[in-house]
Chains A and B, each alone.
Chain A
Amino acid sequence: MLKISLWGKVFKNPVIAASGTFGFSREYNELYDVSILGGIATKGLTLNKREGNEGIRCFETPSGMLNSVGLQNPGIDYFIENELPFMKSLNTIIIANLGGGSIEEYVQGAEKLDKSDVDIIELNISCPNVKEGGINFGIKSNMAREVVKEVRKVVKKPLVVKLSPNAENIVDMAVACVEEGADGVSLVNTFKAMAIDIYKRKSVFKNVFAGLSGPAIKPIALRMVYEVSKAVNVPIIGVGGIKDYKDAIEFIMAGASLVQVGTANFINPFACRDIINGIENFLKEEGINSISEIIGIV
Chain B
Amino acid sequence: MQYSSLKVLENREISRNIFKLTLKGKYEVKPGQFFMLKSWEEPILSRPFSIYDKGENYISFLYEVKGKGTEKLAKLKNQDTVKVLGPLGNGMDISSIKGKVALVGGGIGIAPLVYFAKNIEADVDIYFGFRDEVYGIENLKCKNLYISTESGKVGYKGYITDIFNPFEYNLVITCGPLVMMKKVKDVCKKTATPLYLLMESKMACGIGACLVCTCKTKDGMKRVCKDGPIFKGEEVVFDA
Contact = CB atoms under 8 A, between A and B. Distances in A.
A31 B44 CA distance: 20
B162 interface: no
Contacts of B216: 54
B207 A31 contact: yes
A282 interface: no
Nearest to B202: A58
Contact of A69 (B3, B43, B207, B212): B212
Interface string A233-274: 000000000000000000000000000000101110110000
Given A65-B44, A266-B204, A269-B3, A28 B211 contact: no
- In this complex, the interface size class of chain A, counting residues with CB under 8 Å from chain B, is 20 to 34
Contacts of B220: 51
Interface string B164-208: 000000000000000000000000000000000000001111111
A43 B223 CA distance: 15
A64 B239 CA distance: 29
Interface in B81-107: 85
A67 interface: yes
A296 interface: no
A78 to B, nearest CB: 13
A58 B205 contact: no
A287 interface: no
A31 B3 contact: yes
A269 B86 CA distance: 11
Interface string B105-120: 0000000000000000
- In this complex, the interface size class of chain B, counting residues with CB under 8 Å from chain A, is 20 to 34
Contacts of B85: 269
Contacts of A22: 209
Given A27-B226, A31-B1, A59 B202 contact: yes
A215 B44 contact: yes
Contacts of B210: 20-21, 23, 58, 67, 69, 266
B190 to A, nearest CB: 27
A63 B68 CA distance: 13
Contacts of B45: 60, 65, 266-267
B205 A266 contact: yes
Contacts of B43: 60
Given A23-B210, A27-B209, A69-B211, A56 B204 contact: no
Interface in A166-210: none
Contacts of A8: none
Interface string B36-77: 000000111110000000000000000000001000000000
Interface string B216-232: 10001100001000000
A149 interface: no
A52 interface: yes
Contacts of B23: none
A266 B210 CA distance: 9
A129 to B, nearest CB: 11
A72 B214 contact: yes
A63 B169 CA distance: 48
A265 B226 CA distance: 17
B210 to A, nearest CB: 6
16 contacts: A21-B210, A22-B209, A23-B210, A26-B208, A27-B226, A31-B1, A51-B221, A54-B216, A57-B214, A58-B210, A58-B212, A60-B68, A63-B42, A65-B45, A266-B46, A269-B205
Given A26-B208, A56-B202, 5 more contacts: A23-B208, A52-B221, A58-B213, A65-B44, A266-B206
